[in-house]
A = this chain, B = another copy of it.
């Protein structure tokens, strides 16, 4: 069993929404969000995303492209939207995957490039107390 690196910073909270535009308005009007990025497509994942900065982390709004998007299934169960995942930073995605796998946790698929341009991977929520956890190699800039 490999040693584990210490728990990294919370890069973002993923929040599924049927409409990024409406959610941006909600966060702006009700919570005072001002640092709101431009939405962009993550085509490989079938979603459109938009980051909202808080002073210490980010909220990632996630809207499905179409009915085949994995987020579309989440929204069928939660039509208003809701909390979808938590993303923690790791120094080395391959070391993290090796460590989790050695400990019996299920890592979902191979690493792919995430919204901040570094490799990411998801851990099965059944191994994380019902929480879908994304691990992201720490972005070199942008904090």
Q: Which residues of A contact B (CB under 8 A)?
A: 4-10, 13, 15-17, 22-23, 26-27, 29-34, 52, 54-57, 78-83, 86, 88, 100, 103, 105, 123, 125-131, 133
Residues of B within 8 A of A29 (CB): 4, 103
Residues of B within 8 A of A8 (CB): 32, 54-55
Residues of B within 8 A of A33 (CB): 6-7
Would you call A30 and B127 a contact (CB within 8 A)?
Answer: yes
Q: Which of B5, B57, B82 contacts A10 (CB 8 A)?
A: B57
Show 17 A/B contacts (Cβ-Cβ < 8 Å), sorted by A. Answer: A4-B29, A4-B31, A6-B33, A7-B34, A7-B52, A8-B32, A8-B54, A9-B56, A10-B13, A13-B13, A13-B86, A16-B130, A17-B130, A29-B103, A56-B56, A81-B131, A82-B125
Would you call B126 and A30 a contact (CB within 8 A)?
Answer: no
Complex CA gap A80/B129 in Å reads 5
Complex CA gap A142/B83 in Å reads 26
Interface centre among A9, A32, A33, A103 (most CB of B within 10 A): A32
Residues of B within 8 A of A34 (CB): 6-7
CB closest chain-B residue, reference A27: B7
Given A29-B103, A30-B105, A81-B130, answer yes or no on A10-B125 (Cβ-Cβ < 8 Å). no
8 closest A-B pairs by beta carbon, nearest first, are A82-B130, A80-B130, A4-B32, A83-B83, A81-B130, A9-B55, A81-B129, A9-B56
